[in-house]
A and B are shown apart, each in its own frame.
Chain A
Amino acid sequence: MKRNLIPSPLKRLFWRVFFSFWLASLAIMFATTYVIVNKIESSQFIQRHKQGVERMAHEIIRQHEYVEPMLGQHARPFAVAPPDGGRAEQAHHRDQGGGRRGKARGMIITSGTGEVVFEARFRKKETELIEFTVNSSAGNEYTVIAAKPPIPRFFEEVLGRFYSLQFILIFIASTLVSIFLSWSISKPLSQLGQFSRKYTAGAESESIPQHLLDRGDELADLAGDMAFMIDKIEDTLSAQQHLLHDVSHELRAPLARLQATIGLIELQSADRHTERLHKECKRIDTLIQEILNFSRLNREKEERHKHALGELIKGVISDLQIEHPKREFKLADSSNNAVAQVYESALCRSLENILRNACKYSPPDTAIETTLRLTSTHIIISIRDHGPGIAANDLNLVTKPFYRAGNQMHTEGFGLGLSIAQKGMEKHSGKLDIVNHAEGGLEVTCLLPIGK
């Protein structure tokens, strides 16, 4: 039940959905881009490369046909490339191919007669060849065999693109979409969770937010099921409440008749026995009332209102002062007139029960000391008596209904006081701390979280 373990963020549905969707969408985008770029770029590249080779071949052939005969020189590999055009071609080529190192590619140009007019040695890795024919302007046909260019590293290109604005936008978009998707799943879930926590904490007036029920998806079904479940719980609880109420009413009727009868007997012979009967009737009546109070605390439709805490405590004390006129009650209020949102009747009933308990168990000439103080997170109301305290192994048990420390059947109590106080605290999402004070007596502390 306890939820105090801080869950690893990666275990949260939000991040899981977010990361899986985000990574998947990024992977798909990578893959798609890669494939497309690869396909388009490679065919374009080969096309461009071939045009480059062709232009180069044309130039060489032009030289071969016009320039060399004029100069009377023989074709010599490596020296053939014309000082200007060739270098230009090569430079051009380098640009196009991306990353060629200025060296001529392997190429063999053979004239129609089988004479090798140009030859550039092939490098080792240049194993794939392309072959095509070129018709020179003089009308001769040449066969050109050239190395196929290696497919450049497209990844680099893709990565290059990645740094471009376009990819940053895609990146942002996919992140946003992932966040939105993740949020749209986890938000309603956490709202449902929030609702159920509030409901458990006793805010019965809360109902499941309508927009969750109107979503029309599986989460709306879940919300609907929860609403149904809550209706069932409400039905059961209110049936229980009704039963308890009816039972108590039915029990009180014969009790009232009993008391009236005792009264009549008393008219003839009043003695300690009739007095005793009255006392026991009163005791049964008080018990019925306490049980009703105890069960009511859970279900009472009470709303939080702003109250000055000091005044609230003073009110409870002044009412108890009427019951215990000789008892001294001390209040140390260091809250500077703090005002807080509390369930008034639940809080007052808690305090009343703690105080009454304190009165019951401490000697009549000792004071009951109440302190009210604030921390940044909690309202702390502490009530200390000067009684015998509670045995250490009973401390955790005294908030159980009908449990009486040391199995004492106190003539006035039913063992419900501290249980009622505990319930009142639970209603505020707070807690009750019960300890034996170092200097004797019991100290009961109410811890109420602020700002809830």
Chain B
Amino acid sequence: MNTNTPEILLVDDDQELCSLLAEYLQTQGLLVKSVHNGDAALASLLESNNFSVVVLDIMMPGLSGLEVLQGLRAKNDIPVIMLTGRGDDIDRIIGLEMGADDYLGKPCNPRELLARIRAILRRTAPKKNETQILKAHNIQLDPGALAASINGESLHLTNAEFSTLHMLMHNIGQTLTKQELTEKVLQRKLEAYDRSMDVHISRLRNKLAEKGLDNIIQSVRGRGYQMVNS
């Protein structure tokens, strides 16, 4: 098997839907493993480190998607796309706060799911041509290795958080609108009532604050966010 083919873990209690989506994604050149409950999902993640993205349904009997998310975030930073019922804003926000990278309303067009997965894959692919290491506020960010550290101490970030930090450091001193951030970080269009970027920024701020870097990311009311010059 080609080790370069990304593998997706698809977690949904609807078996028929899983097989349809798996079929779709496989024809698009992805490997898909489907599991139908939370325990199986956590077990699969323990067994193998090969998964590039987890697609996680929030509404599942037994261990809910949010619980699975909590369980897996305790161990690793694998990118997670949540499938949520539309209008379940609370679930979305909680999911993002627990470290999900993005969400998608369900039912969805499989094209949209594929686009989200690809966006994440693009982001997580090591960028060999980007060797320029960014430095600001004692943060050192290596886009090529997807690694960030503060004063030499490594910083654990989810993929979305890493990209956010990258964008902010790359444009230090400039205000980035939510639209720009969503398009560049999540590689999709900003939607109405889309709080994804706010949640990613807030998680990032908390992680930076834990290392003693307060207030380096500022909200510009009605416009967006910016990292202040160091």
Contacts and interface: CB of A to CB of B under 8 A. Distances in A.
Interface of A: 248-249, 252-253, 255-264, 266-267, 278, 281, 285-286, 289, 292-293, 314, 318-320, 322-323
**A contacts with B: majority SS:** helix
Given A256-B14, A257-B20, A318 B110 contact: no
Contact of B14 (A253, A258, A314, A319): A253
B23 A278 contact: no
B24 A281 contact: no
Contacts of B192: 319-320, 322-323
Contact of B106 (A256, A286, A293, A322): A256
Contacts of A263: 20, 24, 109-111
Please give me the 3 A-B residue pairs with the lowest Cβ-Cβ distance, nearest first: A263-B110, A256-B107, A260-B20
A253 B21 CA distance: 13
B110 A259 contact: yes
Interface string B90-134: 000000000000000111111100000000000000000000000
A318 B222 contact: yes
25 contacts: A249-B85, A253-B17, A255-B107, A256-B14, A256-B107, A256-B108, A257-B16, A257-B17, A258-B107, A259-B107, A259-B109, A260-B20, A260-B21, A260-B110, A264-B20, A264-B24, A266-B111, A267-B24, A267-B27, A281-B107, A318-B222, A320-B192, A322-B179, A322-B194, A323-B192
Contacts of A278: 109
B24 to A, nearest CB: 5
Given A252-B107, A278-B109, 4 more contacts: A259-B107, A263-B20, A289-B86, A289-B87
A351 to B, nearest CB: 13
Interface of B: 14, 16-17, 20-21, 23-24, 27, 59, 85-87, 105-111, 179, 190-194, 222
A319 B108 contact: no
Contacts, number: 64
A322 B191 contact: yes
Nearest to A320: B192
Contact of A257 (B14, B85, B179): B14
Given A249-B59, A320-B192, A292 B106 contact: no
Nearest to B108: A259
Contacts of B105: 285
